[in-house]
Structure 1
Amino acid sequence: MQSETLTLASHYLCPYVQRASIVLSEKGVAFERRYIDLAAKPDWFLRISPLGKVPLLAIPQAGRDDAILFESAVICEYLEETQAGAPLHPADPLTRARHRGWMEFGSSVLADLWVYETTKDAEQFEAKCRTLAAKFATLEQELAERPYFAGQHFSMVDAVFAPVFRYFELFETLFESGIFDGLPRVNAWRKALAVRPSVVDAVTEDYPERLMVFLRRHDAYLLARGWRPDR
């Protein structure tokens, strides 16, 4: 993989790819996307991806093969350290460490979401629904005044949670889960992130249709939970 600009090896639905894309956009970095079929990974991708996962960021090197970064957290930290755009981490070391902790919290929410959206089991689904509601209630207590996680400035924590909330833009057209009931700050945060240009541009326009195909392919209980006779 060689290019004159940075290349982000991507998948249409991957939330971790979205993180990297958001940070690249926030930093004002020109980049190309190269989409991978994770069900039939090409040989060139397997040669350069130690874990066989996306995202990868290919960084051009004069006279040499591209340098390859893998894992979204590593990619995002590299961009924060090397690119001149607005800082996405707080300057204060303690606050920065706390932000990194909430980024890990966001990854735990994504792990719960994976089960929530793919399970075929009603009991497991309802348990994850309660888990997610509890985690968002915890976030409600941490949020500053709107619009973003820490107030007026978009941060790396926002880049982590924007793909989380994007799932619910579709899920909540299927049924009312109640997950965000009584959480005004979380709901205001969701709305602010949904219209941020870097967040909008992190996926293709057909993202909702692709996500529906994914749910049907997994015969997800979420679809049965959301079924109504008028659909």
Structure 2
Amino acid sequence: MKLKVVSFKACPFVQRVLIVLECKRIKYDVEYIDLAAPPDWFLAISPLKKVPLLIVGEDVIFESNVINEYIEERYDNKMHPDSLIKKAQNRSWIEFGSSVSMCTFRLTILQDKSKFIVELEELSNYFNQIEKVLVNEPFFNGSSLSLVDATYAPAFQRIDFIEQIYGSIYDKKRHRKVINWKNRLLDLEPLRKSTVPNIKELYYQLLWTRQGHISHFLDEETFGNRGPQSVY
């Protein structure tokens, strides 16, 4: 049975799922929707009105971490470690990764410069915590990709996009292992396959639409007059 993922084109949480599907070489289809004007069929099956959704026959699963756990249990090429304690620790850092992703999202919507700087400091504190637990190479658990890697890769990709217009976000002395891990994840073929080809342009368009402080680092001639503020 071929799986179907419901997405919008710039969603990092959908990317988590697609990275896992790519790593496990599972065939799937993607249907993109406009979350600013979601279709009725989507609203009828999505309790939180969010993506991703995984459609398995007549059944629907929502929330990226839950979807990835289903895929992990259902299919071969396991990405979780065998040890129960290490598996639980991985799940803890996956949850921590959601905090990193939400911090990255807030960087795109905060309009006040001082609040933006505070959020950058919060992100740096998250990196400090991650730096302490990165004892393996090249990935979180060592040589094999894990669900933890799939969780952080989309956030790192967006932070990289922000750095390209804003400047350095990582501390090269304090976050050396985080930077190395990030660079390896950004080079992954499953990450590239998890996005549409113009993901960077779409992301910058989102920044412009959200009208946060970071949007002032974009070229106004490229994006034109600002319309109504929107997160989508």
User: Given the two structures, how large is their TM-score scaled by the length of structure 2?
Assistant: 0.90
Partner of 2:45: 48
| Alpha-carbon distance in 1 for matches of 2:3, 2:102 | 28
| Structure 1: tracts of 5 or more residues without a match | 61-65
Partner of 1:15: 12
Q: Secondary structure at the match of 2:60?
A: strand
1:52-67 matches, cutoff 5 A = 52-60=49-57, 66-67=58-59
User: For each residue in 1:114-158, what CA deviation from the matched residue of structure 2 results, as whole angstroms up to 9, or x when unmatched?
Assistant: 211111111110000001011111111110232111211110100
Partner of 1:29: 26
| Alpha-carbon distance in 1 for matches of 2:190, 2:126 | 25
1:219-230 matches, cutoff 5 A = 219-224=211-216, 226=217
CA contact (8 A) 1:136 1:180 kept: no
CA contact (8 A) 1:54 1:71 kept: yes
| Structure 2: tracts of 5 or more residues without a match | 223-232
The reply on whether 1:89 has 2:86 as its aligned counterpart is: no
From 95, 99, 104, the equivalent of 2:90 is 99
| Equivalent residue letter for 2:209 | R
CA contact (8 A) 2:2 2:27 kept: yes
Q: Secondary structure at the match of 1:9?
A: strand
| Equivalent residue letter for 1:198 | P
| Equivalent residue letter for 1:36 | I
Give the count of matched residue pairs.
Answer: 219
| Alpha-carbon distance in 1 for matches of 2:159, 2:31 | 26
Name segments (4+ residues, structure 1) moved above 3 Å. Answer: none
Q: Secondary structure at the match of 1:133?
A: helix
1:169-180 matches, cutoff 5 A = 169-180=160-171
User: Given the two structures, how large is their TM-score scaled by the length of structure 1?
Assistant: 0.91
| Alpha-carbon distance in 2 for matches of 1:44, 1:78 | 23
Question: Which stretch of the first structure deviates more once superposed, 136-145 or 200-209?
Answer: 136-145
1:57-136 matches, cutoff 5 A = 57-60=54-57, 66-84=58-76, 86-136=77-127
**RMSD over equivalenced CA pairs, Å:** 1.5
| Alpha-carbon distance in 1 for matches of 2:75, 2:106 | 35
From 189, 209, 227, the equivalent of 2:201 is 209
CA contact (8 A) 2:104 2:159 kept: no
Shift of 1:175: 2.3
Q: Secondary structure at the match of 1:32?
A: strand
